[in-house]
A and B are shown apart, each in its own frame.
Chain A
Amino acid sequence: MLLEVSNLTTAYRGLIAISDISIAVGEGEIVTVAGANGAGKSTLLKSIAGMEKPKSGSVSFTGERIDTIPAHLITSRGLAYVPENKRLFPRLSVYDNLRLGSYLHRGKADREAPLELVFKLFPRLQERLSQRAATLSGGEQQMLAISRALMTRPRLLMLDEPSQGIMPKLVDEIFAAVKQIRANGVTVLLVEQRLSESLEISDRAYVLQTGRVVMSGNAADVKTNPEVRKHYLGI
Chain B
Amino acid sequence: MTTQAFLQVLASGILIGLIYALIAVGLSLIFGLMDVVNFAHGEFLMLAMYAMFGLVLVTAIDPVLLMPIVVGIMFVVGVSAYAGVIRFAMRAKANPGMVQIFATFGLALVIQGLAQYFFTPDYRNIGNSWLGGKTLNLGGVFLPWPQIYGGVISLLAFGGLYLLITRTDFGKALEATREDQGAVALVGIDRNRVFALGWGLGAALVGLSGAVLAVFYYIYPQVGGPFALIAYVTVALGGFGSIFGALVAGLIVGVVEALTALILPPALKSVGVYSLYLAVLFVRPSGLFGRL
Q: Which A residues are closer than 8 A to B by beta carbons?
A: 49-51, 70-76, 80-83, 87-92, 96, 99-101, 103-104, 148-149, 151-152
Interchain CB contact under 8 A, B176 and A100: yes
Q: B292 in the interface, Cβ–Cβ < 8 Å? A: no
With contact pairs A89-B179, A92-B179 given, residues A83 and B173 touching in the complex (Cβ less than 8 Å) = no
Q: Known pairs A49-B186, A87-B182, A103-B188. 15 more at Cβ < 8 A? A: A50-B185, A70-B185, A73-B190, A75-B186, A80-B186, A83-B186, A90-B180, A91-B179, A96-B172, A100-B172, A100-B189, A103-B169, A103-B172, A103-B173, A104-B188
Complex CA–CA separation, A87 to B189 (angstroms): 14
Residues of B within 8 A of A72 (CB): 184-185, 188-191
Neighbour of A148 across the interface among B169, B173, B186, B190, CB < 8 A: B186
Complex CA–CA separation, A90 to B189 (angstroms): 17
Smallest Cβ distance from B250 to chain A, in angstroms? 24
Q: B62 in the interface, Cβ–Cβ < 8 Å? A: no
Complex CA–CA separation, A74 to B186 (angstroms): 9
Residue of A87, A92, A99 with highest tally of chain B CB at under 10 A: A87
With contact pairs A87-B180, A89-B179, A99-B172 given, residues A104 and B187 touching in the complex (Cβ less than 8 Å) = yes
Residues of B within 8 A of A149 (CB): 186
* 5 pairs, A vs B, C-beta closer than 8 Å: A88-B183, A92-B179, A103-B172, A148-B187, A152-B187
Complex CA–CA separation, A152 to B186 (angstroms): 9
Complex CA–CA separation, A75 to B190 (angstroms): 10
Complex CA–CA separation, A51 to B191 (angstroms): 13
Smallest Cβ distance from A99 to chain B, in angstroms? 6
Interchain CB contact under 8 A, B186 and A70: no
Q: Which B residues are closer than 8 A to A by beta carbons?
A: 169, 172-173, 175-176, 179-180, 182-191
Write the chain B residue with the least CB distance to A102: B187
Smallest Cβ distance from B83 to chain A, in angstroms? 16
Smallest Cβ distance from B18 to chain A, in angstroms? 28
Residues of A within 8 A of B189 (CB): 72, 100, 103
Complex CA–CA separation, A89 to B176 (angstroms): 6
Write the chain B residue with the least CB distance to A91: B179
Residues of B within 8 A of A90 (CB): 179-180
Write the chain A residue with the least CB distance to B170: A103
Neighbour of A70 across the interface among B176, B179, B190, CB < 8 A: B190
Complex CA–CA separation, A89 to B169 (angstroms): 14
Write the chain B residue with the least CB distance to A106: B169
Smallest Cβ distance from A175 to chain B, in angstroms? 22
Complex CA–CA separation, A75 to B182 (angstroms): 13
Interchain CB contact under 8 A, B185 and A89: no
With contact pairs A92-B176, A100-B176 given, residues A76 and B183 touching in the complex (Cβ less than 8 Å) = no
Interchain CB contact under 8 A, A92 and B187: no
Write the chain A residue with the least CB distance to B166: A96
Residues of B within 8 A of A71 (CB): 185-186
Interchain CB contact under 8 A, B187 and A101: yes
Write the chain A residue with the least CB distance to B183: A87
Complex CA–CA separation, A89 to B180 (angstroms): 7
Interchain CB contact under 8 A, B186 and A87: yes
Residue of B184, B186, B189, B191 with highest tally of chain A CB at under 10 A: B186
Complex CA–CA separation, A82 to B188 (angstroms): 13
Residues of B within 8 A of A82 (CB): 186
Interchain CB contact under 8 A, B188 and A152: yes
Residues of A within 8 A of B172 (CB): 92, 96, 99-100, 103
Complex CA–CA separation, A151 to B172 (angstroms): 15
Smallest Cβ distance from B171 to chain A, in angstroms? 10
Interchain CB contact under 8 A, A100 and B180: no
Complex CA–CA separation, A70 to B173 (angstroms): 18
Complex CA–CA separation, A88 to B190 (angstroms): 16
Residues of A within 8 A of B182 (CB): 51, 87
Complex CA–CA separation, A99 to B172 (angstroms): 9
Complex CA–CA separation, A82 to B172 (angstroms): 20
Complex CA–CA separation, A101 to B232 (angstroms): 35
Write the chain A residue with the least CB distance to B191: A72
Residues of B within 8 A of A51 (CB): 182, 185
Neighbour of A89 across the interface among B175, B188, B191, CB < 8 A: B175
Complex CA–CA separation, A82 to B187 (angstroms): 10
Residues of A within 8 A of B175 (CB): 89, 91-92, 96
Smallest Cβ distance from A22 to chain B, in angstroms? 25
List 7 A-B pairs, minimum CB-CB distance, nearest first.
A87-B183, A71-B185, A75-B188, A72-B185, A104-B188, A89-B179, A76-B188
Neighbour of B173 across the interface among A87, A88, A100, A152, CB < 8 A: A100
Residue of B173, B183, B184, B188 with highest tally of chain A CB at under 10 A: B188
